[in-house]
Amino acid sequence: MTAATTVRWLDGPTGNGTTWGVPWPRGTVAAGTPFALADGTPLQSWTTATWPDGSIKWTAHAISPAGPPLSAYELMPGVEPSVPAEPVTVTRTGDEVRVRTGAVTWTLRAPAVIASIEHDGRGVVRDVRMVSLRQDGPDDDGGRRRTRTTGTVERITVEQDGPVRAVVRLDGRHGDWLPFHLRLYFYAGQSDVRVMHTFVWDGDPERDFLAGLGLTADVVMRDPLHDRHVRIAGAEGFLTEAVRGLTGLRRDPGAAARQAQIAGRQVTGIEPGVAELLDFVPAWNDHTLDQSSADGFVLRKRTRPGHAWITVPSGTRSGGYAYVGGATGGGLGFGLRDFWKLHPTRLDVRDAAADVATATVWLWSPSAPAMDLRYWHDGLGQDTYADQLQGLEITYEDYEPGFGTPYGVARTHELSLRVHGATPSHDDLAADQAAMNAPGLLTAAPDRLLAAKVFGSWALPDKRHSDIEQRLDFLFDFYVGQREQRRWYGFWDYGDVMHAYDPDRHTWRYDIGGYAWDNSELSPDLWLWYQFLRTGRADVFRFAEAMTRHTGEVDVYHLGQWQGLGSRHNVQHWGCSCKQLRISNAAYRRFYYYLTADERTGDLLDELTTPETTFLAIDPIRKIRTDDYTPDPAALSIGLGTDWGSLAAAWLTRWERHGDTEARDRLLGTMADIGALPHGFFTGNARFDLRTGRIDPAAGEFGVSHLSAMFGLPEIVAELLGLDLDQPGFDRAWLDYCRLYLATPEQQTAELGAPLVGVSLVQAHSRLAAYAAARTGDPDLAALAWRTFTLDEGDQLNTNPLQRQPQWKTTRITGTTVLMPVDEAAFVSTNDAAQYGLAAIQLLALAAAQRPTEFGGHHPWSRSDDAPS
């Protein structure tokens, strides 16, 4: 049995329940092994992946806020866990599900999301529901009609029922469109529920315009108007309002009364001469905070419908959290994670002066222009493949009529609902807001993750190669800064980064065809996750988390003819006609799933249960084919790089998560088939039989693509080879590919019969040579890896120390040619940054000791250089 594992908070404890994942070395933890925490904290555990020998590979664990959180916990295999003194319980009676977490009882009953919530047996909240507004045309046409719809829950599924954590999934629709999925997360002893909401776009972008999307709840109001409170988060603290205020009046109700109202406590002892005049003090019935951009919110309130809104002092970036309720009757805290980053958003309180108030978190604010998902340009007459390929030459736009559709894309949001027996303090609300925006996560240290031998070839940061480590830090910090300076935020955009830069305009190429949003092109997702694994940095994790949320939802189709495929980079995330598995790639989601056990990410992986069937829907290389090909189930054309790598990642994940023997057989069978191909991985395209799950060894021609290894193939192959699957032919084929891709034309001709044509992305492929060097011990391969990584032999990022070229740095651009001051690194593109990061990480893992001294010296370093525009 393996030793205990220490887990620590990623970016600080929150006092809320949390779930996290831990990997285990192969063969050390048997299936069915219990887990406990050394301090006796109640624990719930389950297995999320197994090794081929049946031993546990990844586990997930959950704790509840039973007391003050510790700074670290010792996770012990083979020990029975403690159970909460008052566990979360789930009871199903007919169509009703009741969840009890302690003082709070949640009753779930369709068609509502939550039918009622009780605190200490008293009803506080009822009829939690999804709402939407559908508009019949774009705003610029004028005179448009909006229809409000209440979402209908159609199915309730209990996925976990305690004792520490319960998970309930709800599936429904907004009338006749927009299917949605919600998961409700409950923890023992906790008074809040985490709500994970996903909706899938299935409208017609020419006539369906989403004008509002929100989660709303009715809150019972029992207190006198002066004991009812509204709190709305601003950029730092909270708007502090009472429905009927006692402060600032002409006559003083007394300091004790004023202070109690501000603190949210019940007011007693109002001064004589004031109490009898309170009916003449206006009651503020409605409050709204509108976050229209990443830079500003507007606060308003009014006494009742039919009367003017009064502007409240406004601000920049709201924390996205609010409360409505009473000092003794209780109330509801509600909010949206990443509120300002996902603009346009809104928080509403309505009818606070009535018997029942309504609280709404708007994921798309009704105040904003209606969501317009029409294609961004008219195609410019590119009706033939020949025209489209010409267009590709000038704008990198892979256009095709009818392909720029959002039908089937999705978006996921995280919300929080917390029930209170009384109005909470400002500090408590601030803590709730912080926990919502940065949910607590426990993680094992990088060296412990490395010891488990998961995720292929990587190593801990190496101070002996500080120049490379500094460049890795530079690239990450640069993208963090660019996200802020360029405002890469918004409902559909947050989490992605731009593809390429335009130094003449001092901006990323946001409006030029395929140079705009990156959509996982050349694997920035992988780069970020490997950088987190090796460093354990919370800021790297949160950046990668946002990217995983985005690229897995917005860039991928979840319904329709291209379900299971993603869209290549474009001005709009779904605009490109290149629909491929390389974007929906399971390799990009596995990290987040295993580190967090996030069920929604598990759904995305499950959508790829049979990814091979997507090749029936569309031929990825239809525009450049020279042969006569129509997708045939018995002979589907697949590339052995981006295509098979994506298939292998999906099959492996399916096998280790679910024990899926068909996925296992297809993985192992195609590995054997690749090993038997005359040209191995130097086969341009192979033929795959959908029925047998095998590759035809007689089909396929000699060829190579510079993109084959750019979408996770080296990383997933490293994992496969680490499993010892007894595939000698496959092992040899991969080693040959790694040895020969960067070899001289003479060596390629001697071994392959002809030189390779189309060799590119030299620096990115240096990690293949490093793998071959590590396998063979050949010093010449190690030297090749370091030379091609370091010197200017292709389109890449490097410093060329032997040629004394300038060092990496950013330049400050100010003045009248930019919207605002920006830090520019015009030499950086996301393709090169991602592949530099992956190459650097793997060279340091595979060939650090073989780095030539002329490439390993310390270099001067600069992060900025102030310069006029």
SS3 string of 121-165?
Answer: CEEEEEEEEEEEEEECCCHHHCCCCEEEEECEEEEEEEEEECCCE
Eight-state DSSP code of residue 676: H
In whole angstroms, give the CA distance from residue 485 to residue 466: 28
In whole angstroms, give the CA distance from residue 325 to residue 285: 12
If you average pLDDT over residues 185-205, what whole number do you get?
97
Q: How many CB atoms lie within 10 A of CB 208?
A: 18
Of 81-90, 263-272, 404-413, 790-799, the least confident: 790-799
Name the band, by pLDDT with cuts 50, 70 and 90, for residue 278.
Answer: very high
CA angle (81 as vertex; 76, 83 as ends), nearest 5: 150
Q: What is the average pLDDT score of the chain?
A: 94
What's the gap between Cα 62 and its chain centre? 21
Cis? peptide before 111, omega within 30° of 0: yes
Terminal Cα distance for the chain, rounded: 62
Quick check: helix, strand or coil at residue 432?
helix
Strand partners, 498: 517
In whole angstroms, give the CA distance from residue 148 to residue 365: 13
Query: Which of the pair, 620 or 602, is modelled with greater confidence?
Result: 602
- The pLDDT assigned to 854 comes to 78
Closest CA to 320 of 238, 229, 222: 238
Tell whether the model's pLDDT for residue 614 goes beyond 80: yes
Rg from Cα positions in the chain: 29
Report whether 9 contacts 75 (CB < 8 A). no
Of 448-457, 627-636, 762-771, the least confident: 627-636
Quick check: helix, strand or coil at residue 718?
helix
If you average pLDDT over residues 64-83, what whole number do you get?
93
Tell whether the model's pLDDT for residue 35 goes beyond 90: yes
Question: Whole-model pTM?
Answer: 0.96
Strand partners, 194: 185, 416
At 539, give phi and psi (nearest 5°). -65, -35
Report whether 398 contacts 514 (CB < 8 A). yes
Of 639-653, 780-794, 796-810, the least confident: 796-810
If you average pLDDT over residues 303-307, what whole number do you get?
96
Per DSSP, helices labelled H in 234-384 are 255-263
Name the band, by pLDDT with cuts 50, 70 and 90, for residue 75.
Answer: very high
Report whether 187 contacts 62 (CB < 8 A). yes
pLDDT in tens, 657-679: 999 999 999 999 999 999 999 99
Query: Which of the pair, 190 or 143, is modelled with greater confidence?
Result: 190
Going from the C-alpha of 332 to that of each of 226, 322, 416, 465, 556, the distances in angstroms are 17, 8, 10, 53, 35
Tell whether the model's pLDDT for residue 438 goes beyond 70: yes
- The pLDDT assigned to 141 comes to 77
The CATH number of the domain covering residues in 89-244+282-373+404-437: 2.70.98.60
- Domain spans in the chain, listed from the N-terminal domain onward: 5-77, 89-244+282-373+404-437
Closest CA to 580 of 732, 735, 431, 705: 705
- The pLDDT assigned to 858 comes to 37
- The pLDDT assigned to 143 comes to 75
pLDDT in tens, 799-827: 544 444 457 889 999 999 999 999 999 99
Tell whether the model's pLDDT for residue 233 goes beyond 70: yes
Tell whether the model's pLDDT for residue 144 goes beyond 90: no
Concatenated DSSP letters of 353-394: TSSEEEEEEEEE-TTSPPP--S-SS-GGG--SHHHHHHHHHH
In whole angstroms, give the CA distance from residue 751 to residue 38: 58
- What percentage of residues in the chain have a pLDDT greater than 90? 91
In whole angstroms, give the CA distance from residue 741 to residue 761: 11
In whole angstroms, give the CA distance from residue 463 to residue 469: 7
